[in-house]
C-alpha cells in the first residue's frame, strides 16, 4: 500500500507546492482560459440554447433549461479540468520540460510525482469549481437560475474526490500516448464521448444511453449535483459516484505507477 500512503507524505505535498509556485508566477495566462471555459459554456448553453428550450423534465419535475444544465456544468468543470491537467500539462512537464527528471533527483520518488500531479489537478479543479459556483450564485441572484445556492459548498469535497479520480484517468493516457500528437486519440475516443453521455446538456432517456451512462462517473456526478441543488433523491447517484471514483483511484494510480516506472525510469 505504499502507493496509497504516498499521497499523504511530504514529498507529494512538495510536488504540489512546486506546481503552485509556477502557477502563481504565470497565473494570468494559466488561470483565465480554463476558468472561463465552463463559465462560457454555462452561459452559452443556459442562456443561448435555453432560450429555445421550453423546459426539461427531470425526476418528474419540469425545470427551466438553465436550472437543469447548471449543476451539470459544475460536474463538467471537474471532469474536463482534471483530465486536461493530467493529460496535457503533466505530459509537457514529463516529456518537454523534464520537470519530473529534476524532481526524481531529490528525495521525491515516482509515486510522489504521480500523486503530486493528481492532487495538484484536484486542487486546481476545486478552485475552478468554486469559480463556476460563484457565477451560479450571481445567476441565482439575477433570477436566471433556480437552484439552492446554499448547498454549493457541500459539493466541494465531492468535486475534489472526483477530480482525483479523473486526474488518475488522464495520467494513465499520459503514460500511454507516444507523443503529444497522439493526444487526440483519448480525447475523441473517450473524453468527449464521456462528456456527451453524461446528462450534462440533456436527459438520457434512450434505453441504450441509460445503460452506457450507468458506468459513466461523470453522469453520476452531474446527477448528484442536481439532486443536491434541486432537492432531488441523492443516495443512488452519490453512492455510484463514490464507488466509481474509489475504483478508478484504486485501479489507476497503481497502474500509472507501473506504466510510468517503465516509461520514465526504464524499469520493467
Q: Provide the pLDDT confidence category of residue 227 given band limits of 50, 70 and 90.
A: very high
Grid coordinates representing 182 are 497522439
Write down the pLDDT at residue 157: 97
Report yes or no: 241 and 79 within 8 Å, Cβ to Cβ.
no
Report yes or no: 88 and 80 within 8 Å, Cβ to Cβ.
no
Mean pLDDT of the 1-13 span: 91
Write down the pLDDT at residue 145: 86
Q: What pLDDT, in 10s, does the model give residues 233-260?
A: 998 999 999 999 999 999 999 999 999 9
CA of 207: how far to CAs of 91, 193, 198, 215, in Å?
38, 17, 14, 14
Write down the pLDDT at residue 225: 97
Interacting residues of 59 by C-beta distance below 8 A, sequence separation 6+: 232, 233
Write down the pLDDT at residue 134: 87
Candidates 24, 15, 132; CA nearest to 77 is 132
SS3 category, 109: coil
Per-residue b/e over 213-238, b at no fewer than 16 CB within 10 Å?
beebbbbbbbbbbbbbbbebeeeebb
Q: What pLDDT, in 10s, does the model give residues 122-155?
A: 999 999 899 889 888 988 998 888 999 999 999 9
Range of the domain at 108: 2-264
Residue with cell 462528456: 195
Mean pLDDT of the 157-183 span: 95
Interacting residues of 140 by C-beta distance below 8 A, sequence separation 6+: 146, 147, 149
Mean pLDDT of the 169-188 span: 93
Write down the pLDDT at residue 54: 67
Report yes or no: 38 and 200 within 8 Å, Cβ to Cβ.
no
Write down the pLDDT at residue 38: 67
Write down the pLDDT at residue 41: 73
Q: Domain tally for the chain?
A: 1
Q: Is 70 exposed, middle or buried (0-12, 13-18, 19+ CB in 10 A)?
A: buried
Whole-prediction pTM value?
Answer: 0.93
Write down the pLDDT at residue 33: 67
Write down the pLDDT at residue 268: 62
Grid coordinates representing 52 are 429555445
Amino acid at each position: 500500500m505504499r502507493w496509497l500512503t504516498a499521497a499523504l507524505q511530504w514529498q507529494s505535498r512538495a510536488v504540489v507546492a512546486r506546481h503552485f509556485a509556477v502557477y502563481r508566477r504565470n497565473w494570468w495566462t494559466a488561470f483565465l482560459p480554463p476558468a472561463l471555459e465552463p463559465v462560457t459554456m454555462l452561459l452559452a448553453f443556459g442562456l443561448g440554447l435555453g432560450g429555445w428550450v421550453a423546459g426539461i423534465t427531470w425526476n418528474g419535475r419540469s425545470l427551466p433549461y438553465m436550472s437543469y444544465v447548471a449543476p451539470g456544468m459544475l460536474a463538467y468543470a471537474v471532469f474536463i479540468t482534471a483530465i486536461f491537467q493530467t493529460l496535457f500539462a503533466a505530459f509537457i512537464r514529463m516529456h518537454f520540460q523534464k520537470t519530473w527528471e529534476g524532481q526524481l533527483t531529490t528525495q521525491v520518488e515516482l509515486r510522489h510525482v504521480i500523486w503530486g500531479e493528481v492532487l495538484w489537478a484536484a486542487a486546481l479543479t476545486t478552485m475552478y469549481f468554486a469559480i463556476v459556483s460563484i457565477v451560479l450564485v450571481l445567476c441565482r441572484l439575477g433570477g436566471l437560475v433556480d437552484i439552492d445556492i446554499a448547498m454549493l459548498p457541500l459539493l466541494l469535497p465531492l468535486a475534489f474526490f472526483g477530480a482525483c479520480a479523473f486526474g488518475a484517468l488522464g495520467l494513465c493516457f499520459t503514460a500511454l500516448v507516444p507523443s503529444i500528437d497522439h493526444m487526440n486519440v483519448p480525447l475523441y475516443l473517450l473524453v468527449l464521448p464521456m462528456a456527451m453521455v453524461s446528462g450534462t446538456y440533456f436527459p438520457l432517456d434512450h434505453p441504450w444511453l441509460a445503460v452506457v451512462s450507468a458506468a459513466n462517473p461523470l453522469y453520476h456526478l452531474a446527477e448528484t449535483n442536481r439532486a443536491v441543488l434541486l432537492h432531488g433523491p441523492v443516495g443512488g447517484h452519490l453512492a455510484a459516484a463514490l464507488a466509481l471514483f474509489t475504483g478508478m483511484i484504486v485501479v489507476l494510480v497503481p497502474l500509472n505507477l507501473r506504466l510510468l516506472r517503465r516509461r520514465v525510469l526504464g524499469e520493467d
